[in-house]
Amino acid sequence: MASSRMMHILKIVAVLLAGALVVLLVAGLYLYRLSETLPEIGVDGPINTACTSVVYAADGSVLATWHGEQDRTVVPYDAIPQSLVDAVVAIEDERFYLHNGVDLQAIGRALKVNAEDGAYSQGGSTITQQVVKLLFTDGERTLSRKVREALLAFQLETEVGKRDVLETYLNLVYFGDGAYGVESASQHYFGKAASDLTLSEAATLAGVIRSPAGYSPQSHPEEAIARRNLVLSKMAELGYITDAEGRDAQSEELIVAESAEIPDLAPYFVEYVKQVLIDKLGSEMVFTGGLRVYTSLDPAMQREAEAEAATVLGEEDDPSVGLVCIDHSNGDILAMVGGRDYTEDKFNLATQARRQPGSAFKPFVLVTALEEGVQPDDVFSAAPYTVEVTDGTWRVQNYENTITEGSLTLSAATSWSVNAVYARLIMQLGPEKVVETAKAMGITSSVEANPAIALGGLETGVSPLEMASAYGTIANEGVHVTPSAILSVTDDDGAVVFEPERTSTRAMTESVAKTASSMLHDVVIKGTGQASKISSWSAGKTGTTQGYRDAWFVGYSGDLVTAVWVGYPEAQISMTDVHGIRVTGGSFPAMIWQRFMEQATKWQRSTEVAIVEADESGQGLVKVHVCADTFLLANPDCPNPVDIYIDAQNVPTKTCGVH
């Protein structure tokens, strides 16, 4: 019995050994065949040719060139400070001096972390493997490429020393903004030779390698500082510096050099396009791929936008301006003002800033209400409003408490941005429905289902790009088109490399969009947005936040929709005395919008919004001249007459007898 069991075990062992032998033979044959294809190893091997990428405006003019290889300056190992070498080793490959090109311990750790995360979040490649990838492989993530890379790394370290590997790596690696190698990066970010870098600066550069776009000292200083401090902590942990040296370096202020290649026109737009493409194609392709980037920017409109922002608010202590103009029919971004001076502040107020919209958020409530069957002539109390909500008591006052009693139609309340009416309206509708509407119309930032959003009280805020895109949905008869600054990207042979997807989604009915447009037109004609009037038909909405910290005007005419934000980017600072006035949405934002759009609409089709007229069955909308106070047919003495479009069956039959 025991003998039979032993024979069975021996048979199993024999089968397992035979299987293992077959696996080893196959693996050995595979590795042998790979080794026969390996190139000659040496640090003087070929470097992939890098070609300049060119960025074009819509009229074919060149906006910018992005360089790759041309910005690399090769320096010997002795010209690289030891602090930079140590920093790179500490953060990129801490066991560099212990392995032979491949770090099995690091690979095991990466496999464990990735398995726990359920995604590829950590790699195990050594600096030597990175050199091999840059010199000899095509960068594809395949098993064959990884094995080939490992063999090459091992072979490289058998033929050259660690010092040669480091010298090659530090001259090859990409640091962002077209800077290759430590010397080019040092000149680009700090305006000095690599040999003159301080410990803090060296750690900053080492930190950039992992994500050149995300840790750029110029574009993302806060992220760069946090990454630098992580590098310094790692250096202290590994004994390259003392704890005291690390603390001193962490306290050092990050001072970067001004970019030497800032475009003369639309620098914020160009940087926005660059970051989009880096996210889509990777930094290597953007800076070395010889791309031809065709954008939607209209140079004439861009110059006009920059000029008007500088003319209206051009004094040193004035608040800043963020502006975005979009062709709402196709989503093309035509103009973008991201700040006062790109050389001083690269934070893009048009796309990156998230600020409170104030009453400029009310159109999302308006559209929701119209979709739910609320009519422009429905009457609401305009008196101050108090209501219990989830997190306490919500008390709503009208702007400067100008209205303390009485009732208004929804149309009049929209024209004069009456808070109490919109507070009552969102409580009737439910904030969840308003959030759904805002998202469908083009708001991409997080919006909480809180009643305060009716008055623009958001936790995160929104950007001018989002607001322009969302208002464009109303202008485009209810269809939202995804905005894009890029038309297409090709290689230097003309083959398409990337083309953004332009999705069109209906967010509201055509009838609702046109009714909302008519009501927003009244905001311009007789409401809070009168300073925005231009010679052609237009519609829009003002927005002013508490304490006059943010001011907006968002509006459209013809195919153009433009959002203008005015405020101080560095903090929530009240604008109670700018050129002698308190800044509201109806002041400087409306003024900038008016000056820009008066010119811009001359280059674009501009027509009054079309209305779906009632047919023989009585279905559709009809234009009615009514008194805004009584919402009966207006007589010549009515002080606030207004034209509205309502369903044919709801047209009032009586004439106002109050005035």
Lowest mean pLDDT among 151-165, 535-549, 572-586: 151-165
- Backbone phi and psi for residue 532, each to the nearest 5 degrees, phi listed first: -95, 0
Q: Say if residues 541 and 418 touch (Cβ distance below 8 Å).
A: no
Per-residue pLDDT band for 85 (boundaries 50, 70, 90) equals: very high
Round to whole Å and give the CA distance between 252 and 362.
Answer: 46
* pLDDT confidence of residue 217: 93
Per-residue pLDDT band for 117 (boundaries 50, 70, 90) equals: very low
* pLDDT confidence of residue 179: 81
Instruction: State pLDDT tens for residues 194-217.
Output: 999 999 999 999 999 999 988 999
Q: Residue 651, CB half-sphere, CA atoms under 13 Å: how many?
A: 15
In the chain, which segments carry CATH 3.40.710.10? Answer: 308-600
**What are the residues whose beta carbons fall under 8 Å from the beta carbon of 602, sequence distance 6 or more?**
none
Q: Is the pLDDT of residue 116 over 80?
A: no
Which candidate, 354, 321, 301, places its Cα nearest to that of 565?
A: 321
Q: Is the pLDDT of residue 382 over 70?
A: yes
Q: Name the percent of the chain lying above pLDDT 70.
A: 79
Mean predicted confidence (pLDDT) in 384-393: 89
In the chain, which segments carry CATH 1.10.3810.10? Answer: 70-250
Instruction: State pLDDT tens for residues 344-373.
Output: 888 999 999 999 999 999 999 999 999 999
Q: What is the DSSP annotation of 315-380? A: STTSPEEEEEEEETTTTEEEEEE--S-TTT----TTTT--B--GGGGHHHHHHHHHHTT--TT-EE
**In whole angstroms, how far apart are CA 254 and each of 204, 217, 568?**
9, 8, 22
Instruction: State pLDDT tens for residues 618-637.
Output: 455 566 777 766 667 877 77
Question: H or E segment at 647?
Answer: strand 641-647
Q: Is the pLDDT of residue 246 over 50?
A: yes
* pLDDT confidence of residue 618: 46
pTM of the predicted protein model: 0.63
> For residue 75, what are its two tokens?
């320096």
* pLDDT confidence of residue 642: 66
Q: Is the pLDDT of residue 612 over 60?
A: no
Domain 70-250 belongs in CATH node 1.10.3810.10: yes
Mean predicted confidence (pLDDT) in 325-352: 94
CATH code, 308-600: 3.40.710.10
* pLDDT confidence of residue 219: 85
* pLDDT confidence of residue 30: 45
